[in-house]
Amino acid sequence: MESRNFLRFLFIFLSLSLVLFFTWVHLPYAPLPNSTTDLLDCSTNSPWCTSKNRFQPINKPSTADNILEKPPNPKHHNHESDTPHHPLDPLTISEINKVRTILKSHTLFKSSSPRAFHSIVLEEPDKTLVLKWKKGDSMLPRKAAVVARVAGKSYVLTVDISSGEVAVQETGSRSGYPTMTIEDMTSSTWAPLSNADFNRTIIERGVDLQDLACLPISLGWFGENEENRRLIKVQCYSMKGTANFYMRPIEGLTVLLDMDSKEVVEISDKGRDIPIPKAANTDYRYSVQEINPEMMFVNPISIEQPKGPSFTVEDEHLVKWANWEFHLKPDPRAGVIISRAKVRDPDSGEMRNVMYKGYTSELFVPYMDPTDAWYFKTYMDAGEYGFGLQAMPLDPLNDCPRNAYYMDGVFAAGDGTPYVRSHMVCVFESYAGDIGWRHSESPITGMEIREVRPKVTLVVRMAASVANYDYIVDWEFQTDGLIRIKVGLSGILMVKGTSYVNTNQVPGQQNLYGTLLSENVIGVIHDHYVTFYLDMDIDGSDNSFVNVNIQKQRTSPGESPRRSYLKAIRNVAKTEKDAQIQLKLYDPSEFHVVNQMKRTRVGNPVGYKLVPGGTAASLLDHDDPPQKRGAFTNNQIWVTPYNQSEQWAGGLFVYQSQGEDTLAVWSERDRPIENKDIVLWYTLGFHHVPCQEDFPIMPTVSSSFDLKPVNFFESNPILRIPPNVEKDLPVCKPAASA
């Protein structure tokens, strides 16, 4: 008994250490991360800056040189006194505590039955009320949307924070369970140690229990034997000799666990002949690298703003920059939500509506290995794990540049207690030498004209570390009215152990399901699909979707020396099925969202267009169980009528769902969408065939798409912005040259 208690204590300790590991922000593998001592400090009162060389000491200037000291770390905000200023502001600490108090006295929670709060967030007011509300008006009633499980049953509740009234919503007969709580995940990692067979297996595999790290892995849905109870699979790794335990899998060992009772249902151990990969060369932390000074490619770089940033954040959540304003808030499931995005018209000065609400709705990550220990790895990162719950504190100077503004997330734990996720989101201005517009006249015209405008943008960034994988999501606003949404993939591959140390050992016909990255390590092929919810409100809520198909036209004999040309044919979608789009390279289209009731001076309907970037499409069979659940990736574009209950592309309850409550199902209703309040959905996709450069940690790979004005303005909206001139910019020099 003492031995078992010791093991349980030990594994709880290790699990808590693992949680801390997930909440740290690790420094990049290479090159040297930025630090405040490496970057130039510019002052408005002095043209001089300091730059401390990484390898050669430089004398520090005297205080007479008026050098700024190290910039302060981002300020820690005390959220205890937060109050809402806008109807869309997230719940405050005091509001979450009040919701918790109200629910304690509700009949549903009075019993001693097991219960957990899987989500406590703002229930946003009706859209029509929010659109009418303006600063100075009375605050709209504050309500909380609560997802809870009591005695093994899932509930959706609405809590009126002022009156204390609680309404239990009808959830219907949908399958699936709510997003896991952090407590679900952490407790599942240590639960197997209460099973003697599991402990024996670990020791027989040659792993000390003190070196064990385990991960909670959602299991998707693959049939009736997985129904009627919350199940999770647990797989483990060896931490010995490295922080990068992901590269040391105990291959073939999978524990099936009842997530509620923590009972071990089944242990599958089919990889005893596969060695645990060695720890050598797997650690990615800068502190353990052998640094070769000749490999330091670039000197420190920093964008300096002596007058400070050009944006403001009013009342904690209202961002104003250049010609943009929008509401910004962290969310435990979506990560970041952008609302009420408006852009100023350069002619009228009016703030014009562009987007009511935009966010990451779901992430679908299927791995392409059908074997026993891998077939179920088909993650829904937002609906199963909580994309925002996995967001990590951002690292100043490396995740976000100097002069960034940091925003915290305030979330509820499984028992309803509020907690703060510090520095979850950052906002900063970006300049990468890009050009907003330019034109130079050729000498043959005799006109000496060279007009160029720099492109400065505003970026909203978050980064989520969903166990091994890191996602960076940027919402980038440009002064020309364009919004660019970019997703970056980094972090660590989920790898498979193998007996092979070289490709010459692999039989010609054997499928590795991936790439041999290092000795005994296979990077398994997988996909990433990130689906965005985009409630476009172009100069009002009633919009239409237009497929502008670009078709080849042939000229008639004798009509022209040309044989062919292109013609744009506008097709206004009448119903949802008209707007189910699969991108085709040789059948191109533009995809416009327009307000047909608002026209430009010359008669074009005002609008925005979705400009797809590099993307990938799912190749899985539609009747494959993971694809049934991820059917929202069957098309890259969908358009649905606005419905407040249709926000999550994979359904409200995603965990172990069967795919009967997805975007694909809703869209089959084929509802009218012309001149309606419509929602645009777009899926950004990646196929990932791992390569050795992804080992032991992946360089970031990114893709993006744009929301671009199309006949929204009367002319180029940044025509009148000024060019840069030398006198307006700080002059920074290394201290050594001062």
Q: Mean pLDDT lowest for which of 239-253, 283-297, 558-572, 626-640?
A: 283-297
Q: Residue 45: pLDDT above 90?
A: no
Q: Residue 53: pLDDT above 70?
A: no
Look at residue 577 in the predicted model and tell me its pLDDT. Answer: 98
CA angle (422 as vertex; 417, 426 as ends), nearest 5: 135
- pLDDT, one tens digit per residue, over 14-37 is 444 443 333 332 322 234 466 555
For the ranges 12-21, 42-51, 286-295, 341-350, the maximum mean pLDDT occurs at 341-350
- pLDDT, one tens digit per residue, over 651-706 is 999 999 999 999 999 999 999 999 999 999 999 999 999 999 999 999 999 999 99
Mean of the pLDDT values across residues 80-97? Answer: 96
DSSP secondary structure letters along 425-464: EEEEEE--S-EEEEEE--GGGT---EEEEE--EEEEEEEE
Look at residue 208 in the predicted model and tell me its pLDDT. Answer: 96
pTM over 0.75: yes
The separation between CA 663 and the C-alpha centre of its own chain, rounded to angstroms, equals 19
Band of pLDDT at residue 730, cut at 50, 70 and 90: confident
DSSP secondary structure letters along 157-181: EEEETTT--EEEEP-TT---BPPPP
Mean of the pLDDT values across residues 642-656? Answer: 97
Whether the bond between 249 and the residue before it is cis, its omega within 30 degrees of 0, is no
431 catalytic per annotation: no
Look at residue 499 in the predicted model and tell me its pLDDT. Answer: 97
Across all residues in the chain, what is the average pLDDT?
89
Q: Residue 727: pLDDT above 90?
A: no
- pLDDT, one tens digit per residue, over 436-478 is 999 998 888 889 899 999 999 999 999 999 999 999 999 999 9
Kindly list the distances between the CA atom of residue 451 and the CA atoms of 429, 438, 448, in Å, as whole numbers in the listed order: 23, 5, 10
Look at residue 734 in the predicted model and tell me its pLDDT. Answer: 59
Which ranges in 75-207 belong to alpha helices (H)? 93-104, 107-110, 127-132, 182-190, 196-204
**Catalytic residue of the set 284, 469, 529, 533:** 469
Q: Mean pLDDT lowest for which of 307-316, 636-645, 694-703?
A: 307-316
Q: Residue 373: pLDDT above 90?
A: yes
- pLDDT, one tens digit per residue, over 575-591 is 999 999 999 999 999 99
469 catalytic per annotation: yes
Q: How many residues make up the chain in this entry? A: 738
Q: Are 145 and 331 in contact (CB under 8 A)?
A: no
Q: Residue 731: pLDDT above 80?
A: no
Cβ burial, residue 290 (10 Å; 0-12/13-18/19+): exposed
Mean of the pLDDT values across residues 129-134? Answer: 97
**Under 8 Å CB-to-CB from 652, ≥6 apart: which residues?**
156, 171, 174, 176, 645, 661
Mean of the pLDDT values across residues 29-58? Answer: 39
Q: Are 239 and 213 in contact (CB under 8 A)?
A: yes
Q: Residue 50: pLDDT above 90?
A: no
**Catalytic residue of the set 381, 399, 535, 694:** 381
Q: Mean pLDDT lowest for which of 227-231, 574-578, 712-716?
A: 227-231
Q: Residue 11: pLDDT above 50?
A: no
Look at residue 236 in the predicted model and tell me its pLDDT. Answer: 98
Lookup: tokens for 491:
């972090």
- pLDDT, one tens digit per residue, over 504-555 is 999 987 899 999 999 999 999 999 999 999 999 999 999 999 999 999 999 9
Q: Residue 635: pLDDT above 80?
A: yes
Q: Which residue has the tokens 């944006």?
A: 311
Look at residue 254 in the predicted model and tell me its pLDDT. Answer: 98
